[in-house]
Amino acid sequence: MRHVRQRQHRPAVKEDPHAQVAEKMIATPVGGVAGIGIRAWVLGVAGMLLACLGSREATADDAALWRALRTPGHVAIMRHAVAPGTGDPAGFKLGDCGTQRNLSDAGRKQARRIGARFRAQGIRGAEVYSSQWCRCLDTAALLDLGPVKALPALNSFFSNAESGDGQVKALRQWLADRQGPGLAILVTHQVNITALTGIYPGSGEIVVFRAMDGAAAKVLGTIRSD
């Protein structure tokens, strides 16, 4: 029997060279054909190229990365937990989870495990910011590390590559302007993380970096979720 998902309306929630390569590939049409299928193929190729270029050059082990996150000045940016599929369905509407690609049961469990890892490392609270996409908001909430604040600079530009440069610039400015020593955890999308850091993350993967006064982020390494 086929089940029909009811729409849910979510209430309002209070130059790295490698990155340039990814942005250029995302924005370049392939054979003059546009669409999600082609874009997904391009993103896949970009991810493989980034791996070949050494996007994971940082050698810091997990223990060192967790220590960094307990030190002022460092930021954790992570891809949302497992949400099967690519992009969003036709008819996508911001704020209407029923029109979006959402976390699976496995993704919800993954997000809870990630939050538990933070707490096991002595990080029991943080400033949590999220893309306005439901799969990111849900991931951020399930971390259970603090109130979630929506941050439009973290919104996906997967279906609108032309806005990528502006999104990254806005996020860098936000990081430069941010006040306070507390840890910031940013929950966003693969394209945003790749454009900012040069890393092609898996679902739930955390990239640890230090903001450099509006310049490219200094990536220390990544913490995989599983």
pTM for this model (two decimals): 0.75
Mean pLDDT of the 33-49 span: 44
Q: Is residue 132 predicted with pLDDT exceeding 70?
A: yes
Q: Is residue 85 predicted with pLDDT exceeding 50?
A: yes
pLDDT at 211: 78
Percent of the chain with pLDDT over 70: 72
* Res. 225 pLDDT band, cuts 50 70 90: confident
pLDDT at 184: 96
For 114-124, what is each residue's pLDDT tens digit?
999 999 999 99
For 48-70, what is each residue's pLDDT tens digit?
444 433 334 444 599 999 999 99
**Is pLDDT larger for residue 214 or for residue 50?**
214
Mean pLDDT of the chain: 80
Mean pLDDT of the 171-190 span: 91
Domains of the chain by residue range: 17-223
Closest CA to 145 of 180, 185, 205: 185
List Cβ neighbours of 79 (8 Å cut-off, separation of 6 or more): 187, 188, 189, 190, 193, 201, 202, 203, 204, 205
Torsion region of 153: left, alpha or beta (phi above 0 gives left; psi -120 to 50 gives alpha): alpha
**Is pLDDT larger for residue 217 or for residue 175?**
175
* DSSP per-residue codes, 144-196: -SS-EEE-GGGS--TT-GGGHHHHHHHHHHHHHH--SSS-EEEEE-HHHHHHH
Mean pLDDT of the 145-157 span: 96
pLDDT at 178: 86
Which segment of 45-49, 87-91, 205-209 scores lowest on mean pLDDT? 45-49
pLDDT at 217: 79
Residues across the chain? 226
Domain 17-223: which topology?
Answer: Rossmann fold (3.40.50)
